[in-house]
Structure formats: structure tokens, C-alpha cells
Amino acid sequence: MNDQHWGPSISADIVVIGGGTAGIGFVASLLKRDPGLKITVIEPSTLHYYQPAWTLVGGGAYDAKDTARPMNKVMPRQATWIQAAVTGIDPDQRRLTLNDQRTVTYQNLIVCPGLRLAWEKIEGLQESLGQHGVTSNYSYQHAQYTWDQVQKLRGGKALFTQPPIPIKCAGAPQKALYLSCDHWLKRNVLSKVDVEFNLAGAALFGVSTFVPPLMKYIEKYNARLAFNSNLVKVDGPAKTAWFDVKDADGNVTRQAKTFDLLHVVPPQVSPDFIAQSPLADAAGWCEVNPHTLQHPRYPEVFALGDICGTTNAKTAAAVRKQVVVVAENLLALRKELALPLKYDGYGSCPLTVEKGKVILAEFGYGGKLLPTFPLDPTVPRRSAWWLKATLLPWFYWNGMLKGREWLTSLSKVD
């Protein structure tokens, strides 16, 4: 293809798509290993967010403004930052197209743009969000509105939703329910609130070990579970939500439910420039070897974070381990050595079952339990709340984004 058609071209060595948790964490770790590397980061946003705390914001336990920092404050100084968005990938030519018509060629590509929150897939949601009691902790702009609405509610119907997997932190939809119910219980109004959790899937949590302790809280809060119930439409002014409900025979019917509070988790998809590229798997995610995180057809490409077409939980804790795997494996590849590290699918979901207590669910591929601490992981603990609300945010800004690799023990490739 004629380069003039593509616009001005930038030639780069290691290119990282995305300046989120995976992108910044990876660049920091790579530069710790070799400060002389030439790394280019492509990221359009001016702000970087610590998203795991948004659930706490929605539960009245964290200040939203403490979850955002300017991108130029977290971007490693040695990296070159191109503030633009990728619109196309041609891995055969090792070339990216940007939204300003520039192109970037690379020697190695690290794909970590995250996933896209597809608010538009629920009819009427975008018009209603942030008013009429319709909210979401998956949005920086609306997590505080969740807490405002929870405090105002003294009775009525509260609906919480969870879309089809995969989503960021599959425990977050129910964390919103638990923290809201805990507040209502402590204010002696829970008995007047009809709480219902509508899940598109057929299980409360993907790792069965954690279902019994979570069910104790569902029962404690007198919440009803509506499985195979997927939110498809919202009318904020009418305080009505519609769900496609699948029965045991697979028949789907549309049911309308009224609400006073509606906490929505949007469907989540791969960005178009990945889904429509040769890097994508059949579901549109970036295809990788699940252990080395290298692309199977384009060995110079690695991916990490939420974009990966792997079965691990899409969490910041997963990224913490993936960063080390990709950094070590990339450096080995560039030296034409065998890839040394293997990712075991580790992910962590600190389930905030009440304000002050957390069930720390840590697991890998196949639901294998991978606890960091020698404690029963199914027991709600105050120490795990401290970890979630105090230690991990501090570690994120001062450790993970600075290339400090604590709690990242990994397996060597056999």
C-alpha cells in the first residue's frame, strides 16, 4: 500500500497500545530490566484511573477523585507517549494506523488497550445514566451517584445487573449489591427494600468454592437471584427496566421490572480495531498463547490485560502477574532465547461482602485456588478489607506503576 495514503509514518521499536494498568505497569517493569529500551506508548486519554476502587466509591468508602491521576504523571519518563488512538492494525506489515492519519511501524507490539464498555447495547441506558436512580460503578462519572442514591433510598425496589461474561472483575456487579445492602441494613431500612440481582448467566460466581460463603450474604441481605436474566432496555423516567429471560428449555421472554434504584453493569467487548484485525480470535479478543501471552501467528506480538482472549478473570491482579511474564518473555524473544515464564491464569477478586469485610477470591485457570496467604480464602476478613481499601491502592500508584514487582511469583515454562 502507498505510504502517502497512510499519512506521516513513525518508526518505532517496542510499541505498547494502551496506557492503562497493563500498559503503564508493563512499560515500568520493562524499563526496570533494561532502561535503554526505546518504548513508544499510544494512549489517547489524559487521565489514568485506578478502577478497582470505583466499587468502594459506590459504597461510600472511597473518594472518586483519588482514583484518577494525570496520564503524564504516571507515564514512565523514558517512554515516548503518542497521545492518539489506534484505529487499525496490519500485523503483516507491522504497522498501526492512528486516528490522526499517522502510521506507526514497530519491531515488537504489546497489545493492552483494555476492553470497551458497550453502554449503547442496552437501549435507553445512555439517556438515563446518572439520573432517575440509574447508575453504574463501572463509570468514574457515576460511581458517586451510586452512593448518593443508596443513601437516599429508604424503601422500594433495587435492581442490580450483570451482563454476559467476559467482563472486568466478574465480582464487581455483586459487590455493588453487598455494599448497598450493608448500608441499608445498618440504617434499618433493608426490610423495606426489595433487592434483586439479575444475572445473564446461571451461577452467582464462576469459581464454585466461593458460592456457599457468598450465598450466606445473599440470604443475610434477603436478596433474590434472577439467573439467565439479561438487561436489554431502560426507561429512566418511567423507572422501568426490561430483561430477556431464558427458561430451562432455552426459550427467551422479555420481562419488564420497575425500580427505584438500578445499578447497571454494561456489556463489555473488544475494541473494534482489535476485533476487526488479524490479531483477533473468533470472539474478537486478541489471541494469545494462554501461558506465554505471545500471539500464535505473529510471534513479535504479545498481549496482556483485559484484551486477552484468555479465560482468566479480567482484573488488575491478573495484570500484576502478566506484566512480569510478558516483560521476561519479550526480552528473551529479542535475544532469540526460549520464553522463560508461564502465566497460570492468576486473578484476584476481593469480594466486598460488607463494609469492613472482604472474601479474597484468588484463582487461576480452571478455577484452581491460588491463595497468596495461608488462610481459608472463603472466610470474610477485616484484614482483606484493609488490603483492598488501603494497601492495594497505595501499592498500585507507588509500586505497580513504578515497576516494583511484589507478590508476583511465577512458574517457569516446562
Catalytic (active-site) positions: 169, 349
Number of residues that make up the chain: 414
- State the Cα–Cα distance between residues 347 and 377, nearest whole angstrom: 14
- State the Cα–Cα distance between residues 22 and 30, nearest whole angstrom: 12
- State the Cα–Cα distance between residues 155 and 396, nearest whole angstrom: 38
**Omega into 166 within 30° of 0, i.e. cis?**
yes
Beta strand pairing status for 95-98 and 86-90? antiparallel
- Cβ-Cβ contacts under 8 Å for 2 (sequence gap 6 or more): none
C-alpha cell of 364? 487461576
**CA-to-CA dists, residue 362 to 15, 55, 129, angstroms:** 31, 18, 32
- State the Cα–Cα distance between residues 250 and 228, nearest whole angstrom: 10
H or E stretch including 29?
helix 21-33
Query: Hey, CA dihedral for 113, 293, 53, 73, is it positive or negative?
Result: negative
The one-letter amino acid code at 30 reads L
| Nearest to 336, CA basis, from 309, 283, 300, 384 | 300
- State the Cα–Cα distance between residues 256 and 203, nearest whole angstrom: 22
139 near 242, Cβ under 8 Å?
no
- Cβ-Cβ contacts under 8 Å for 134 (sequence gap 6 or more): 125, 128, 234, 236, 262, 264
193 has which bridge partners?
Answer: 156
Q: Residue 257 CB: number of other CB atoms within 10 A? A: 18
